[in-house]
């Protein structure tokens, strides 16, 4: 493969865009420097870079593209709506249609507010909880990696420059499947925690009825239970992970897959809380969400069509099946090469990632880079192993073969030393204190 155009364009991007991208997970520090891969176009689960190299993709727009790139019915729905006008001085009929659809779909939702990205709606949920309870503290799941670009979350990370200590002190951490860590927070801060926000599942399944116990503790302590469904929504189940795990959150947030890559997010919740942002309740009004482009027509139409297709085509079941096919194939190669202690696939089949370890069985960015380097050489773009409705059996089987070839090199690097095989500087964690 050649990357001359990608290298040239990456230099230009870095000149004009801080970080060289608009989402840190897409940054050049996340990819081998010898394989920069600047994307030109995509179709289904295949993408082509500006140099003409073709890849099967397993990032799928950071999990936002559930049906496939350039999915024609969704693109055409967005196009038709844009011809009718994309933004007006008053609400459009399509807003009511989609809000009603979402409320009828999500069992815990009685009202909904749209936005353009996940951080908008998670932050709105936190604000709403603080306004309703009159409390300031927020509890987050500390081993789930990301909830918002806003200060209430970023202040808990190493990348906290510019955030006042007073803001940082308002966010507390508990840990997944560790009920005691939740109980301790409620004991240490009685009647002070406005909300608890978490994902139903990341890569480890809930144990010992953890999710229901957390929900129970929130109700007992007058704390709003917020479920972040940004990734799980529409991917785990048509009605969200809350349906799969039989949860009843007070507020929940959705985005990513609901628009198949178009910009759309939603805060959904019970009327008791959501009405604080409307015009009809008595008392102090919450400035909940007010964004110029939240009701932008093409994004809403894309969302409407995407939700219809997900339901009609039973997409979550398809993702589960294809993910299992990929999981089984990769695991077979891992076992054949005796790499179980060094490389593995984790997570639900519809939402898988892999871990990389070195000769000492410690988590390793250099070995992640090596795997990335070898899979890119073989026509895979796989920062994770996220499948879509576009991943056919042929795509999966081809991927398994290419991953097996890459893991053969990985095995040699374990046995002989990575220096012999890695031709790039290691990739870095997305969120870190210094460059």
Distance between CA atoms of 67 and 319, rounded to whole angstroms?
Answer: 10
pLDDT of residue 361: 97
330: phi then psi, degrees, rounded to nearest 5:
-70, -40
The sheet with strand 380-381 has its strands ordered as 39-43, 46-49, 54-57, 380-381
Average pLDDT, the chain: 96
Nearest to 286 by CA among 77, 89, 129, 118: 129
Q: How far is CA 66 from CA 27, 60, 151, 221, 235, in A?
A: 22, 7, 29, 37, 8
Pinpoint the alpha helices (H) of 141-289.
151-154, 165-168, 179-188, 210-220, 241-244, 271-274
For the residues 202-231, what does the mean pLDDT come to?
97
Q: For residue 7, what are its two tokens?
A: 């290298």
Output the pLDDT for position 282.
84
The pLDDT of residue 36: 81
Q: How confident is the model at residue 281 (pLDDT cuts 50, 70, 90)?
A: confident
Report pLDDT for 35. Answer: 83
First-to-last alpha carbon distance for the chain, in angstroms, is: 29
pLDDT at 107: 97
Q: What is the model's pTM?
A: 0.96
- The model's pLDDT over 142-151, given as tens digits with 9 standing for 90+, comes to 999 999 999 9
Strand partners, 139: 172, 196
Helix/strand/coil for 115 = strand
Spell out the residues 6+ positions from residue 302 whose beta carbon is closer than 8 angstroms to its own.
74, 75, 77, 78, 259, 260, 261, 262, 264
The residue among 400, 385, 391 whose CA lies nearest residue 353 is 385
* Per-position DSSP letters for 291-304, written without gaps between them: -TTTT-HHHHHHHH
**pLDDT-based confidence at residue 424 (cuts at 50, 70, 90):** confident
pLDDT of residue 357: 98
Identify the structural domains of the chain with CATH numbers, from first to last: 4-70+314-420 (3.90.1150.10), 87-295 (3.40.640.10)
- Flag whether pLDDT at 283 surpasses 90: no
Q: Are 123 and 150 in contact (CB under 8 A)?
A: yes
> Average pLDDT of 383-395?
98
Tell me the C-alpha distance between 185 and 418, whole Å.
44
pLDDT of residue 273: 97
HSE value, Cβ hemisphere, 13 Å, CA-based, for 45: 27
- Give per-residue pLDDT as tens, 95-115: 999 999 999 999 999 999 999
pLDDT of res. 16? 95
Average pLDDT, integer, range 387-415:
98
What contacts 320, CB < 8 A, 6 or more positions away? 348, 349, 350
pLDDT of residue 297: 96
Q: Where are the alpha helices (DSSP H) in 221-314?
A: 241-244, 271-274, 297-312
The dihedral region occupied by 426, where left means phi > 0, alpha psi between -120 and 50, and beta the remainder, is: beta
Res 338: pLDDT:
98
Instruction: In the chain, count H helices and then E strands.
Output: 15, 13
What is the model's pLDDT at position 140? 98
pLDDT score, position 176: 98
Asked if pLDDT for residue 207 goes beyond 90, the answer is yes
Chain segment 119-141, per-residue pLDDT in tens: 999 999 999 999 999 999 999 99
What does the pLDDT look like over 15-67, one tens digit per residue? 999 998 998 899 999 999 888 889 999 999 999 999 999 999 999 999 999 99
């Amino acid at each position: 493969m050649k990357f001359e155009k990608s290298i040239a364009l990456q230099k230009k991007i870095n000149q004009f865009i801080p970080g060289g991208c608009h989402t840190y997970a897409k940054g050049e520090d996340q990819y081998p420097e010898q394989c920069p891969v600047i994307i030109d176009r995509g179709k289904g689960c295949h993408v082509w870079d500006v140099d003409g190299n073709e890849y099967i993709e397993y990032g799928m727009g950071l999990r936002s593209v559930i049906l496939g790139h350039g999915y024609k019915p969704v693109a055409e729905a967005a196009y038709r709506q844009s011809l009718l006008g994309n933004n007006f001085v008053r609400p459009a009929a399509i807003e009511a249609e989609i809000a009603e659809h979402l409320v009828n779909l999500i069992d815990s939702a009685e009202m909904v507010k749209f936005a353009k990205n996940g951080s908008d709606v998670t932050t709105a949920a936190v604000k709403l909880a603080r306004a309703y309870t009159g409390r300031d503290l927020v509890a987050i799941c500390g081993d789930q990696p990301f909830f918002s670009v806003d200060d209430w979350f970023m202040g808990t990370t190493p990348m906290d420059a510019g955030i006042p200590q007073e803001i940082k002190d308002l966010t507390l951490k508990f840990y997944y499947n560790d009920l005691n860590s939740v109980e301790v927070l409620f004991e240490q801060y009685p009647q002070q925690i406005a909300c608890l926000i978490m994902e139903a599942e990341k890569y480890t399944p809930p144990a010992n009825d953890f999710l229901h116990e957390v929900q129970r503790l929130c109700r007992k302590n007058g704390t709003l239970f917020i479920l972040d469904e940004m990734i799980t929504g529409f991917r785990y189940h048509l009605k969200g992970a809350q349906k799969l795990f039989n949860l009843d959150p007070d507020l929940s947030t959705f985005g990513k897959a609901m628009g198949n890559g178009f910009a759309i997010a939603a805060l959904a919740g019970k009327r008791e809380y959501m009405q604080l942002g409307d015009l009809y309740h008595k008392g102090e009004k919450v400035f909940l969400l007010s964004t110029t482009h939240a009701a932008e027509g093409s994004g809403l139409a894309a969302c409407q069509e995407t939700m219809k297709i997900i339901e009609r085509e039973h997409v979550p079941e398809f993702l589960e099946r294809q993910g299992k096919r990929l999981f089984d194939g990769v695991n077979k190669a891992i076992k054949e090469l005796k790499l179980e202690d060094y490389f593995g696939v984790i997570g639900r089949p519809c939402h898988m990632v892999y871990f990389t370890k070195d000769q000492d069985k410690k988590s390793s960015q250099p070995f992640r880079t090596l795997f990335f380097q070898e899979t890119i050489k073989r026509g895979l773009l796989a920062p994770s192993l996220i499948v879509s409705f576009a991943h056919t059996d042929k795509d999966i089987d081809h991927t398994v073969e290419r991953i097996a070839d890459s893991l053969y090199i990985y095995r040699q690097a374990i046995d002989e030393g990575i220096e012999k095989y890695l031709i790039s500087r290691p990739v870095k964690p997305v969120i870190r204190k210094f460059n």
